[in-house]
Amino acid sequence: MVLEDHEMPNGWPLGLGNLNMRLRVTESLHPAETEPHPLHTPSSSCSSFSSSNLDTEKSKTHAFPGGVCPSVGVGGHFIGAGYGNLMRKHGLSVDNIIDAQLVDVNGKILNRKSMGEDHFWAIRGGGASFGVILSWKIKLVSVPEVVTFFLVKKLIKQGATTSITDLVYRWQQVADTLPQDIFIRLEMSVEKNESIQFQFFGQYLGQPHTLLSIMNQQFPELGLQQKDCIKSSWIETTLYWDNKPKGTSLGNLLYRMPNQSFSFKVKSDYVITPISKAVLEELWRKMIKMGMGMIMQWNPYGGRMNQISESETPFPHRSGYKFLIQYWYYTQDNSKVELLRKLYDFMAPHVSKLPREAFLNYRDLDIGTNQNGANSSIFGAKYFKGNFERLVRVKTKVDPDNFFRNEQSIPPLPK
């Protein structure tokens, strides 16, 4: 595969978005091929990344396990170990990076071989602390020509939450144990009239009839039906994950301007054991009191994630986790941010502990910031667990004067 670099006014957003580039598969690809196919992508802090950026006229059976948000920068997505709906099958974005080019603190351009394995390890999920990334070499993964996207919605009003509580509790039990070809994200958003919309977004790497058979056996409580399923190519599902209606042209992805700007606060948690029904009921009540703008996304782990060592990359949250929680609160009122912090405090007994872990790409300055390295071990343990010490050693070697730094960057050891 080769990369054609184009100065396109609105980018090329079939997954990699506003990167001003186009990826083309130039060799002959056959359905029976299963080996990963490498390609290069330039890095850009202003580029967007939601999945993979393939010329779909050449291949409908290749993808990249990146995220689904249409405006996330590929540089930040990779250095923070971004994930997507292929994670249970193929792991994270950083699990599928095979080389990179960067400019180090001395102005030298290095690749994987010249920077060394420790440095290469650190940039795949260790944050923006180790140089300026110029490009990434990633491997594509094989996907079926036909996949299934589905969405099940349930609007629940306060006082009538028992049925949804049972369903969410069951989701916690099965979402990480389903076949790794299935990914079901649960999103909860507070709506008007003291109600919460529960949305089960799902993707299956296969045909709808096979999915329905699996779900009827392993998760019948969801009530998934044929009418909830959309059969499409993998690249077309990027539209559905961006809430575009069925029939939307892929060309719609070329339009990269956001509809509006907004302010929000985000936090994260990892769940190891299912949250009890009583706690879920209290959670719904607290969310409704916070009002519209409060959203939670629960993203299941399991599958391939259980097979990768927590020290393989700086991202340590691998085996044994049921799901990742993302808390969103859209507000321009700083006083309301305190409501989210109180909700986060309420959740403390029901999530990971010692440390209470967090996801680096859901950056949260509440958990600590750099003060000449004084507090770095606090947020470092939450983001990286035992990998933080290795990151510090790499930082000390490649950037001893801490040139590349931010509020939550990796500090070097004191001289």
Closest CA to 70 of 17, 27, 136: 17
Average pLDDT over residues 376-402: 97
The CA distance from 32 to 27, in Å, is 14
Residue 37 has pLDDT above 80, yes or no: no
- In angstroms, rounded to a whole number, what is the distance separating the alpha carbons of residues 32 and 387? 38
Residue pLDDT, tens place only, 260-302:
677 899 999 999 999 999 999 999 999 999 999 999 999 999 9
Contact between 382 and 357 (Cβ < 8 Å): yes
Residue 355: cis peptide before it, omega within 30 degrees of 0: yes
> Is residue 282 left, alpha or beta, with left meaning phi > 0 and alpha meaning psi from -120 to 50?
alpha
**C-beta separation of 336 from 344 below 8 A:** no
CATH of 2-142, one of 3.40.50.970, 3.40.50.720, 3.30.465.10, 3.20.20.70: 3.30.465.10
State the pTM of this model. 0.87
Task: Report the distance separating Cα 254 and Cα 15, nearest Å.
Answer: 10
Catalytic residue, candidates 204, 270, 321, 362: 362
Task: Please report which confidence band the pLDDT of residue 72 belongs to, taking 50, 70 and 90 as the band edges.
Answer: confident
Mean pLDDT across the chain, nearest whole number?
86
- How many other C-beta atoms can be found within 10 angstroms of the C-beta atom of residue 348? 11
Q: Is the pLDDT of residue 27 over 70?
A: no
Q: Which fold has domain 147-235+258-350?
A: Vanillyl-alcohol Oxidase; Chain A, domain 3 (3.40.462)
Instruction: Say which amino acid occupies 227.
Output: K
Could you tell me the residue ranges of all domains in the chain? 2-142, 147-235+258-350
- Would you state the pLDDT for residue 23? 37
Bridge-partner residues for 47, per DSSP?
none
pLDDT at 25 over 50: no
Mean pLDDT of 329-354: 94
Distance CA 269, CA 298 (A): 10
Question: What is the pLDDT at residue 35?
Answer: 45
User: Are the folds of 2-142 and 147-235+258-350 the same?
Assistant: no
Alpha helices in 104-161 (DSSP H): 112-115, 117-123
Annotated catalytic residue 344: no
